[in-house]
Chain A
Amino acid sequence: MGEFGIIIQVLISGILFGTMYGVAAIGLSLIFGTMRIIFFAQGTMIIFFAYICYWLFTLIGIDPYLSLILLIPISLLLGMGFYYGLFKEAAALEQKEVSLLIAIGLMWAVENIMTRVWTADPRAIVTAYTSWILRPFGINIPFTRLIALLIAVLSAIGVSLFLKRTRIGTAVRAASEDMESTTLMGINPHWVNAVTFAIGIGLAGIAGVGLATVYSFDPMYGFTFVIMSVIALALGGMGNVFGALLGGIILGLIYNLTAYFIDSTWANAICFVVFLLVLMFRPQGLFGGAAQKV
């Protein structure tokens, strides 16, 4: 494999790497749309579900992909529970710092509970197919990463269909455009918020399985993850499901290319600089049409 082959390899793994951020960014985008907060605990929730997936695999022996059947309903319910249990009062307030701080408190608590239960050592799921590698045209594509990409694309399609085709999905879209008018139309804001939370945490469950099968993870990885997802969100534009996924992929490409050509610490800085430039000059995201109300 020559220089060109290596670059193709870097690009491919960037795309596969970025989809995980994309899925997390879709969740962030939905919650941001209705609640107007960055849900900082998203990354930590992903790690939490990765650990649950890890436990299901090591203790009971359930295949990680099969555990999705169990994890998706659990995470949807957990999301709804979070909203009604923690955020309901704060969502009605004018000060958004309050909701933001509850999210940070949740992140802090869950992170430390995970450190207590599973220790700070990195864990990984090793199954029979972890080491499978597909080699189309001489490019190495690990099987688990391909499945992660597939799951990400499928969940993006699912969320997008839900938002476009169902009544409550339409309500969520309306609420993220103008919460006040939506409430005046007789839509219960708490129900809309609860549904977005459920989907957001549900996506965290899906991303958790994807992550658990591909990478090793530790409790403190969640914050890094959520920051990268925020960048993916800004690249894709707020309130745009496929934009968020594409934003994640672009971020993965930028990261991998700079990490390959320069250095991985600088790659972080370059991601943030790109993030700042996009925020300043294209706040509607790279794929957004008209400028959004800020």
Chain B
Amino acid sequence: MAKYPFNILKSLIPTKITQNQINIYIIIAVIIGFATVPFFIDVDTSYFAYYLFLTFLFIVIAQGWNIVAGYAGQISLCQNSFFGLGAYTTGLIWLYDVTKTGYYFDPVVMLLSGLVPVILAIIVGIPLLSRLRGDYFALGTLGVQFTVTVLMLKGGAFTRGADGLHLPSVAFESMLPYYWVGLLLALFAVAVVYFINRSNIGLALKAIREDETSAASRGVHVLQYKVFAFAVGASLTGIAGSLYGIYLFHINPDSVMNLNWLFFPILMCVLGGNGTIMGPIIGAFALAALLSYGDVYLLETHPILSGLIIILVMKFMPTGIIGLKDKILSRR
């Protein structure tokens, strides 16, 4: 009966561990790892925690662009107006006391901040996406984003112009809720893209990206799916904008409709690998590191450096960091 203990051990380990299960265990381990970070380091004083918060925020906006451009293949250049609109929705609801709820990290307000950009996305998306293709769509969205910025600047007493909205910052207690909510939103955004990718919708979006005409001839309702992807991207970006607005407590066109919020998601997606799930995540970690640590160690030169890094990455690995794996594997 010497074999008996080994049998018990054996029965504990599943007979066949598939790659899929390993991936799930890794993902759970990583999530638990990030979720427990606040127990090991002091979130309020650590710069590393700020870096992680920024990364989570970036993951959300990167996935928002990923679904429009990476999966549906429509280059949207008005993500910053969705971001700003999310932040403004949060700020306006809070200041004008619309929903009569708690406001500070209020899920209702965050949800509404995700909904308002959807309305804009549908209003501008239907005419633009039905009439314009490719580069012309990109140019059209660029026009939309400038118009929205001017509307916010010229909103008069309602949006308070260039000075913007000042939220009651007495609500601030600790960075801890920002960290948790950021992580939760990042997980949510990744999950949204993951499940859309696995569903029929994902298949339709990829078909549109590859060849719009043949997708249409196969019975894919092209406009409907494009507007859907545009709206989902807008919603994710808007929710991220809401979180950033709560973080800043001061919402003005210069801070939340800055063109950086337009370029960052593009940069992260292409840096990591556009049209993949891991790509934007890797891109977010890389860009947040460049921006947050660049600010500390290379105060004056870091914008020049970021420009040069973009050029070099695009020149030498245009498929992004995730494409590097395939390159190395194929070389072997």
By DSSP majority rule, is chain B's interface helix, strand, loop, or mixed? helix
- Report the separation of the CA atoms of residues A96 and B128 in the bound assembly, to the nearest whole angstrom: 20
Are A279 and B69 within 8 A (Cβ)? Answer: no
Are B146 and A294 within 8 A (Cβ)? Answer: no
A7 at interface (Cβ–Cβ under 8 A)? no
B263 at interface (Cβ–Cβ under 8 A)? yes
A116 at interface (Cβ–Cβ under 8 A)? yes
A8 at interface (Cβ–Cβ under 8 A)? no
- Report the separation of the CA atoms of residues A95 and B117 in the bound assembly, to the nearest whole angstrom: 27
- Report the separation of the CA atoms of residues A279 and B259 in the bound assembly, to the nearest whole angstrom: 22
* Distance of A234 from chain B, by nearest CB (Å): 6
Are A294 and B304 within 8 A (Cβ)? Answer: no
* Distance of A30 from chain B, by nearest CB (Å): 15
Are B314 and A105 within 8 A (Cβ)? Answer: yes
Q: Tell me which residues from 111 to 159 in chain B have a Cβ below 8 Å from any Cβ of chain A.
A: 127-128, 131-136, 138-140, 142-144, 146-147, 150-151, 153-154
Q: Point out the residue from A86, A104, A109, A283 that lies within 8 Å of B304, measured CB to CB.
A: A109
Are B150 and A234 within 8 A (Cβ)? Answer: no
Are B314 and A276 within 8 A (Cβ)? Answer: no
Are A294 and B136 within 8 A (Cβ)? Answer: yes
Are A97 and B69 within 8 A (Cβ)? Answer: yes
Q: Name the residue of chain A whose CB is nearest to the CB of B302.
A: A112
Q: Name the residue of chain B whose CB is nearest to the CB of A107.
A: B307
B108 at interface (Cβ–Cβ under 8 A)? no
Q: Tell me which residues from 70 to 118 in chain A have a Cβ below 8 Å from any Cβ of chain B.
A: 86, 89-90, 93, 95-102, 104-113, 116
- Report the separation of the CA atoms of residues A294 and B213 in the bound assembly, to the nearest whole angstrom: 13
By DSSP majority rule, is chain A's interface helix, strand, loop, or mixed? helix
- Report the separation of the CA atoms of residues A86 and B315 in the bound assembly, to the nearest whole angstrom: 7
A147 at interface (Cβ–Cβ under 8 A)? no
Are B318 and A98 within 8 A (Cβ)? Answer: yes
B99 at interface (Cβ–Cβ under 8 A)? no
Q: Point out the residue from B134, B300, B303, B318 that lies within 8 Å of A95, measured CB to CB.
A: B318
- Report the separation of the CA atoms of residues A105 and B313 in the bound assembly, to the nearest whole angstrom: 10
Residues on A with C-beta less than 8 A from B274 are 95, 97
Are A102 and B314 within 8 A (Cβ)? Answer: yes
- Report the separation of the CA atoms of residues A95 and B69 in the bound assembly, to the nearest whole angstrom: 11
- Report the separation of the CA atoms of residues A234 and B146 in the bound assembly, to the nearest whole angstrom: 15
Q: Point out the residue from B140, B150, B267 that lies within 8 Å of A276, measured CB to CB.
A: B140
Residues on A with C-beta less than 8 A from B304 are 108-109, 112-113, 116
With A38-B139, A265-B150 known as contacts, the answer to whether A112 contacts B303 (CB < 8 A) is yes
Interface residues on A, range: 35 or more
* Distance of B313 from chain A, by nearest CB (Å): 8
B266 at interface (Cβ–Cβ under 8 A)? yes
B270 at interface (Cβ–Cβ under 8 A)? yes
* Distance of B326 from chain A, by nearest CB (Å): 15
Are B263 and A97 within 8 A (Cβ)? Answer: no
Are B128 and A104 within 8 A (Cβ)? Answer: no
Are B69 and A269 within 8 A (Cβ)? Answer: no
- Report the separation of the CA atoms of residues A273 and B124 in the bound assembly, to the nearest whole angstrom: 12
Are B310 and A272 within 8 A (Cβ)? Answer: no
Residues on A with C-beta less than 8 A from B303 are 108-109, 111-112
Q: Point out the residue from B127, B133, B146, B307 that lies within 8 Å of A106, measured CB to CB.
A: B307
Are A269 and B131 within 8 A (Cβ)? Answer: no
A230 at interface (Cβ–Cβ under 8 A)? yes
A56 at interface (Cβ–Cβ under 8 A)? no
Residues on B with C-beta less than 8 A from A90 are 314-315, 318
Are A98 and B270 within 8 A (Cβ)? Answer: yes
B321 at interface (Cβ–Cβ under 8 A)? no
17 pairs from A and B in contact (CB 8 Å cutoff): A38-B138, A90-B314, A90-B315, A97-B274, A101-B267, A102-B311, A102-B314, A108-B304, A108-B310, A109-B304, A110-B307, A266-B150, A269-B146, A272-B150, A280-B132, A283-B132, A294-B132
Contact residues of B with A, CB < 8 Å? 69, 75, 127-128, 131-136, 138-140, 142-144, 146-147, 150-151, 153-154, 259, 263, 266-267, 270, 274, 300-301, 303-304, 306-311, 314-315, 318
Beyond contacts A111-B307, A268-B150: 6 other A-B pairs, Cβ-Cβ < 8 A, are: A89-B315, A97-B266, A102-B310, A108-B304, A269-B146, A279-B143
Q: Nearest 6 CB-CB pairs, A to B?
A: A109-B307, A105-B310, A108-B307, A269-B150, A112-B303, A105-B311
